[in-house]
Structure 1
């Protein structure tokens, strides 16, 4: 496996869930439509012929990744836009008596914020289901929450922080029993695990280019044929009338090519990344026995995702001490105050564990050497942090003992 031109060896890149490098083959495929194939695919002359054909091919390639009908693929500018179209589009097109949406606590902000906006602007009732300690939704909770008024259930396929994979097929069956539409945000799952829309029973699926080696600024929503949605952008009728605006042909080609590459290598990459992920986890466990804590489901999770905390080490401090490694923490800083990830909080992790979380996500150009070096860097930094903390504790104890002696004297 050749090295990606954007990865020069350091820092080691283990942040593939945040964004992926664009595959060179994707760049090659899209280049003609940036250079010479400039025509508007809706035009009626020969300059439109190649772009229109490329757009149709891309639609077919994206559909093939998830076992879908190509006519159901709607290209969008981002995953957030696709989520908005799925959720807002379904609810605003639903009959007046269906004024209820169900989602769950660890969803992407694009889903949660869209549901909140529907409540604020249209009075739609929103139910947010809890998750267990592994981040899983209990289908019994959905069964208890769903009513004849429920228009939509939106549950992500795999979590972006922990990699936990939800029981979507079971949840879809419950939704359909009550006549509700089900949407799943598969931004993190697509290209990493097999997805078949019929096997899952889903009506709407969000796919995102920059999570599977295409550029940022391109995504897609799968809509089951026959399902009515309110458009998100009104205008000239492009994308089945759901997303007006002249199509971004080069980026659609990029997404189609990326989907094709992911489908061709799905089985081998799933096996390879699972092995590397587990090697990384084991190396950390060996180096720091009894100090590594896994967040998310041990088995039902993405093959590339390892979310852990190390006892006594805040995640932000740990990564700051290892500039040779590019990864993410499970916390966010607002106005100088570090807050734990809402995902980990929803999983009932205590504050220290949540603030200690780091997400290590592997991808197409991750090597065994990368994993081994990352484990060594993290373990060394954690030991150093632990030694410094012990030294500070002993110094404080000595000072305290001295003060007590002075008082007794």
Structure 2
């Protein structure tokens, strides 16, 4: 049976180099980085080397990086950590967008329950938020502004740098959820008007269960987890040494090969869309999200006359893995909050499927998937 994995926005396969780095660290013997003996020092050296690598790639100081257990933890740590610290200064406003990942949206809703004033910026039909709307919402009482870099469902890029400048001028802490954009954009965090950035290893062919939070030096921040003094007392808990080692290896390769990686996924994506047009006709489907300002590896497509649930089930039976949206909510029958926030028609929302491409995918797979979709479409029309 066909086996095609087009769900890289949910998680990516670990590359061999990352697997080798993980196995080497895991097989090196016991070692807690906080221990003072030789075993502990060896583990600490691995964590330090990984932190140095990631700092070099991101253009920041190693001391500004905090290892976490996931992108979700990084988002929550950023939002709660900055909001609580800012509240001590009398700032109680939270500004975010309607198209954020639930790791941000639900954290913001929880902050609202704790007495913070929440403002959710709307998105246009491409999924973009307006810097002007952000400027109207951010004031002297705003504690934290959180705007994602690239959307995990549509790939639409946000004007987070422009909004970050506004936040900085008004004394608000700027957070960016860059989990989906990590590995597809180059940053020099020292010069970027951003105070907190969340990323995750498993989106760039690294291991699951490892995240990273950039905390710019001087940013008001209180730890989310309380316990030991690991990560400069910003994240209690013994570090995942094998995962961190593999994360750094995957990131090093992703950044070294970024241009080639972008060309590859864009070629697969464009081949897929061209094949859909040839097989179905251009009036049978619609690409959702911004047509130009977008991540190269995501194609969110609405197929008119088919429900996403039915199409996904038939694709799975045919050996093609895709998604109805965020992997964190795709198990539910609720429509995508991202597409709903974009004010798309009910038909487009309910017929949308996300295809996301990456390491190991080919143009041949893209063309084959388009043929499979055409076959499914024809079968459903007959039935």
TM-score bracket relative to the smaller structure:
over 0.9
The equivalent of 1:120 in structure 2 is 113
Please give the alpha-carbon distance, in whole angstroms, between the structure 2 residues aligned to 1:138 and 1:98.
Answer: 23
3-state SS of 1:126 partner: strand
One of 295, 298, 303 as aligned partner of 1:310? 303
TM-score normalised by the chain length of structure 2: 0.95
- Partner residue in 2 for 1:18: 10
The residue aligned with 1:385 is 380
The 5 A counterparts of 1:291-370 are 291-322=284-315, 323=317, 324-330=319-325, 338-370=333-365
* Count of residues in Structure 1 that have an aligned counterpart in Structure 2: 378
8 Å CA contact 1:58, 1:252 repeated in 2: yes
Report if the CA contact (8 A) 1:330-1:358 is conserved: yes
Contact 2:197/2:213 (8 A) holds in 1: yes
SS in 2 for 1:338: coil
Q: Which runs of 5+ in 1 are unaligned?
A: 1-8, 389-409
Which residue is 1:38 aligned to?
A: 30
1:83 to 2:78 alignment: no
Answer yes or no: is the 8 Å Cα contact 1:169–1:199 preserved in 2. no
In 1, Cα distance between the equivalents of 2:334 and 2:326?
A: 6
C-alpha root-mean-square deviation of aligned residues, in Å? Answer: 1.8
Tell me the equivalent position of 1:224: 216
Unmatched tracts of structure 2, length 5 or more:
none
Of 188-197 and 103-112, more deviation after overlay is shown by 188-197
Whole-angstrom CA distance in 2 between matches of 1:331 and 1:383? 27
Q: Is residue 2:122 matched to residue 1:130? A: yes
Is 1:158 the counterpart of 2:158 in the alignment? no
Checking the alignment, whether the CA contact within 8 Å between 1:330 and 1:356 is kept in structure 2 is no
Query: By how many angstroms is 1:333 displaced?
Result: 12
One of 253, 266, 271 as aligned partner of 1:261? 253
Q: Distance in 1 between matches of 2:8 and 2:221?
A: 32
CA offset at residue 331 of structure 1? 8.8
Which whole-Å CA distance do the structure 1 matches of 2:328 and 2:108 have between them? 25
The Cα shift of 1:332 comes to 9.8
| Distance (whole Å) between structure 2 residues aligned to residue 35 and residue 337 of structure 1 | 39
Q: CA deviation at 1:337?
A: 8.5
How far 1:279 moved relative to its partner? Answer: 1.1
Cα drift, residue 195 of structure 1: 3.0
- 1:171 aligns to what SS in structure 2? helix
Structure number with greater Rg is: 1
2:140 corresponds, among 148, 161, 165, to 148
Q: CA deviation at 1:194?
A: 2.3
Which of structures 1 and 2 has the larger relative contact order (alpha carbons within 8 angstroms, sep 6+)?
Answer: 2
CA 1:187–1:337 in structure 2 vs 1: closer, same or farther (change >3 Å)? closer
Structure 1 contact 17–188 (Cα < 8 Å) conserved: yes
The whole-number CA distance in structure 1 between the counterparts of 2:347 and 2:327 is: 14
